[in-house]
Amino acid sequence: MFDEIRKEFPLLKSKLFERGLVYLDSAATTQKPQAVIDRLVQYYTKENANIHRGPYDLSVDATKLWEQAHQIVADFINAKSYKEIFFVRNTTEGLNFLVNTFGRKLLSDGDIVVISEMEHHSNIVSWMLLQKEIKFRIEYIPVKDDYTLDLDWLNDLVKKEGNKIKIVSVVHISNVLGVKNDVEKIFKIAKKVEAFTILDAAQSVARCKVDVKEIGCDALVFSGHKVYGPTGSGALYCNLKYLEELTPWMGGGEMVSTVTKDGFEYNELPWKFEAGTPDIGGGIVLGSAIEWLESKVSAIGGWDVLINHEQGLIGSFLNEFNGIEWFKHFGPDDISKKYGVIAFNIEGFTFRGCKDISKIESMKEGNGVIEFLNRKRIAFREGYHCAELLHDRFHTGPTIRFSLGIYSTQQDLKYAANSLKEAVLRGLN
């Protein structure tokens, strides 16, 4: 079944890559199935018009498709209504929206925003930018040696600081460790002080069932391009009870129903938060990508089958390095705790961005290894993966990351493992 799904991805069988492409960078962006590509072509060849404005059929139909896509996202994450969903360009834009709306509304000098040491930079730097205007504190939930978040620490912080904690914003699945955080518990603790809770679901929506009601978050963001949809598409969920009162981040067309010299009235939800002409094609096709993924997940027998499949691939990759001293896995070796991502170091080699002078002086430069893997047509990442704080916490320096998609195979990982061994055994630098 997984082999059949893989065949739906034209880039993976493209003749452009005569020696084949081993795509292990799905945490950065997923490849797109033919159905999603065709849907985008269909939109631009047959359905393209601006939405919510034109009285003509083409525009009315595009508007319907746009609205339906919101409903698809709402159902996908089990939101109450499409009114709780508005489209953004990506997770980063969604998080910045939340910082600049809820952050500005809820935070005063001395207040606290809680994030964690394993956040992506988009959930760190966006808060740091706001700190230039409001003197709130950022507190980081520590990552324990077993790669879980320290919830005792969070409980203690809540006891100590009480309702100075206004916002708790954490990542669901780490894009480096591949661990899934116990966000249900984290948000329960946050609610003891009525903090506003945000989930970065960038890595989780394509890997496991995400249900906002079960998780208990107030807001959630994800990127379309990581869930087999187009770049430039993404969605933000926010519980309806906050949205009526919330002032949008951007003003302009689309988000108002009437404007006079004395002021304006908001459009209804969720369009109030979608100022200007959005990426209409991207949003509509995000809906199609989600429908495509859901149909595949159902065909294979559910999310657990996908999770087992990915964990099996990770397990066989890690087994390739049993007893090999130079391979240093960054993350839990218990594969039942891993979701789609394998980051590692190679002892004796440094990689791009290394900050540790002693390592730079005493180790080989990893460029040769990186180049070798590239020549082997392996697509992967090297560096900090926008999670520098996490790397600093474990003093790992930059890592190499292989990440999986629904199309990843045993052969991909076997080939990647063999190529890596060959590169290191040759002592490339």
Ligand X SMILES: Cc1ncc(COP(=O)(O)O)c(C=O)c1O
- The dihedral sign for the CA sequence 121, 127, 129, 131: negative
Question: Is residue 200 involved in binding ligand X (CB under 6 A)?
Answer: yes
Question: Residue 92 interacts with ligand X (CB under 6 A)?
Answer: yes
Q: Which residues is 399 bridged to in the sheet? A: 383
Binding flag, residue 126, ligand X (CB under 6 A): no
Q: What is the DSSP letter of 119?
A: -
**Range in contact with ligand X (rule: CB under 6 A) among 75-83, 90-98, 127-135, 156-164:** 90-98
Which of these is catalytic: 217, 238, 354, 386? 386
Residues 210-249: x where in contact with ligand X by CB under 6 A, - otherwise, as a string: -------------x--------------------------
Nearer to ligand X, 28 or 35 (CB): 28
Quote the least distance from Cβ 197 to ligand X, whole Å: 16
Cβ-based nearer residue to ligand X, 174 or 350: 174
Tell me how far, at minimum, the Cβ of 203 lies from ligand X, in Å.
Answer: 5
One character per residue 32-61, x = contact with ligand X (rule: CB under 6 A): ------------------------------
The residue from 36, 65, 202, 416 that contacts ligand X (CB under 6 A) is: 202
Residue 245: which region, alpha, beta or left (left: phi > 0; alpha: psi -120 to 50)?
alpha
Nearer to ligand X, 171 or 307 (CB): 171
Of 281-320, which residues contact ligand X (CB under 6 A)?
Answer: none
Cβ 226 vs Cβ 278: under 8 Å: no
**Rounded Cα distance, 234 and 87, in Å:** 6
Please confirm, yes or no, whether 386 is among the known catalytic residues.
yes
Closest contact distance (angstroms) between CB of 224 and ligand X is: 8
Size of the site for ligand X (CB under 6 A): 13
Q: Which residues contact 202 (CB under 8 A, 6 or more apart)?
A: 91, 120, 171, 172, 175, 221, 222, 223, 226
With beta carbons less than 8 A apart as the criterion, state whether 263 and 44 touch. no
Residue 284 to residue 46: CA distance in whole angstroms:
13
Return the residue of 39, 120, 338, 391 that touches ligand X, per CB under 6 A.
120
Beta carbon nearer to ligand X, 62 or 286: 286
How near is the Cβ of 325 to ligand X at its closest, in Å?
A: 30
| CB 204 within 8 Å of CB 338 | no
Q: Cβ 226 to ligand X, closest distance in Å?
A: 6
* Of positions 122, 126, 239, 403, contacts ligand X by CB under 6 A: 122
DSSP-derived secondary structure for 209-233: ---HHHHT-SEEEEEGGGTTS-TT-
| Pick 128 or 240: Cβ nearer ligand X | 128
Q: How far is the CB of 122 from ligand X (least distance, A)?
A: 5
Minimum distance from CB of 244 to ligand X (Å)?
Answer: 27
Look at residues 275, 273, 291, 405 and name the one whose alpha carbon lies nearest to residue 340.
Answer: 405
- Is 31 among the residues that bind ligand X (CB under 6 A)? no
**x/- track of binding to ligand X for residues 57-86 (CB under 6 A):** ------------------------------
175 binds ligand X (CB under 6 A): yes
Of the residues 148, 203, 239, 311, which one makes contact with ligand X according to CB under 6 A: 203
What count of residues does the chain have?
A: 429
User: Cα(227)–Cα(189) distance, rounded to whole angstroms?
Assistant: 29
Site stretch for ligand X (CB under 6 A), options 140-148, 195-203, 354-362, 399-407: 195-203
State the minimum distance, in angstroms, from the CB of residue 409 to ligand X: 22
| CA atoms 25, 26, 28, 32: torsion sign | positive
Angle between helices 280-300 and 303-319 (to 10 degrees): 80
What is the rounded CA–CA span in Å between residue 112 and residue 122? 18
Helix then strand then coil, % of the chain, to nearest 5: 45, 20, 40
Local structure of 243: helix, strand or coil: helix
Give the separation between CA 252 and CA 149, rounded to whole angstroms: 41
What residues line the site for ligand X (CB under 6 A)? 27-28, 90-92, 120, 122, 171, 175, 200, 202-203, 223
Catalytically active residues, by annotation: 386
